[in-house]
Amino acid sequence: MFWENPFVETAARYSVVILCLIVFMAVFELVTKYNNWKEIKKGNFSVAMATGGKIFGIVNIFRFSFEHNDSLLESIGWGIYGFILLLIGYFIFEFLTPTFKIDEEIQNDNRAVGFISLIISIGLSFVVGANII
């Protein structure tokens, strides 16, 4: 009965998303060639857009998962799966642009590349979310 209380359930889901977000952002930090938070602190708007897109993408997948699943464990599973797909999308983006390096362009504050990175993360999160059953 305690776990069925909407306030407790919301707090549990919120906590899970925060924890997963921290872990997933740490993984993204490992795969990028720059330090997200140092670049953001320096005012690198492209890194801020790319990072914001990743954050939005991750939480958006969880939103769809919570909407379509009763179990917190199922939602975590979908969140992890969605994160893996977002990570694959990141590598595909890099592969599809052989004439320049995405990470270098974002680190150099190329706002066009940062914006496209943001849109890819958001767009893919909606595609993943739409397929959560």
For 32, phi then psi, to 5°, come to -90, 155
Q: For residues 58 and 28, what is the distance between their CA atoms, to the nearest angstrom?
A: 11
Q: Determine contact, residues 104/117, Cβ cutoff 8 Å.
A: no
pLDDT per residue, tens digit, the chain (133 aa), is 776 788 998 999 999 999 999 999 999 999 999 999 999 999 999 999 999 999 999 999 999 999 987 788 998 999 999 999 999 999 999 999 989 999 999 999 999 999 999 999 999 999 999 998 7
Residue 71 is predicted with a pLDDT of 84
Can you list the pairs that 28-31 forms with residues at least 24 positions away whose Cβ atoms lie under 8 Å?
28/54, 28/87, 28/90, 31/87, 31/90
Give residues with Cβ within 8 angstroms of 133, minimum separation 6: 68
- Domain ranges in the chain are 2-130
Residue 92 is predicted with a pLDDT of 94
Q: For residues 16 and 76, what is the distance between their CA atoms, to the nearest angstrom?
A: 8
User: Which residue do the tokens 């939103």 mark?
Assistant: 63
Q: Determine contact, residues 64/129, Cβ cutoff 8 Å.
A: yes
